[in-house]
């Protein structure tokens, strides 16, 4: 892959990292995928490199969305309307929510035990 193509792909992936919301992320993802396809069309990327670049953009966007949703769950907020995830993503988010709830229950039990121990002394 020529250096200019690699630089463009890296810049597009960096733009995904800077996205501040779902719409901006969707735009940046579409742009990154479109740029990779355009580079392949004009012969600056092989089909394999194009597939790798488009997969990297889509994976980065998916990871960003999951991180945002995990943060929302962690903060006790509802997921945004229209948030769509794969079954695997849903399972991950459910496990995360369950783990957060378990952690909260554990903290409450420990606080209650500490309070009882302080009271007994």
List, for residues 7-52, the tens digit of each pLDDT value: 889 898 889 889 988 899 999 999 999 999 999 999 999 999 999 9
Q: Which domain holds residue 110?
A: 85-121
Mean pLDDT, rounded, of the chain: 80
Query: How far is it, in rounded angstroms, from Cα 40 to Cα 50?
Result: 6
One domain, residues 53 and 16: yes
One domain, residues 14 and 61: yes
One domain, residues 8 and 46: yes
- Residue burial 14-46, b: 16+ Cβ < 10 Å; e: rest: ebbeebeeeeebeebbeebbebbeebbeeebbe
One domain, residues 104 and 54: no
Query: How far is it, in rounded angstroms, from Cα 4 to Cα 117?
Result: 66
pTM value is 0.61
Query: How far is it, in rounded angstroms, from Cα 79 to Cα 18?
Result: 21
């Amino acid at each position: 892959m020529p250096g200019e193509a690699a630089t463009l792909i890296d810049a597009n992936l960096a733009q995904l990292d800077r996205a501040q919301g779902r719409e901006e992320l969707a735009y940046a993802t579409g742009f990154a995928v479109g740029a990779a396809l355009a580079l392949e069309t004009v012969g600056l990327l092989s089909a394999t490199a194009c597939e790798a670049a488009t997969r990297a953009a889509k994976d980065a966007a998916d990871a960003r969305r999951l991180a945002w949703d995990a943060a929302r769950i962690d903060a006790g907020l509802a997921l945004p309307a229209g948030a769509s995830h794969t079954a695997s993503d849903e399972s991950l988010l459910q496990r995360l929510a369950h783990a957060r709830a378990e952690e909260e229950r554990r903290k409450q039990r420990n606080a209650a035990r500490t309070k009882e121990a302080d009271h007994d002394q």
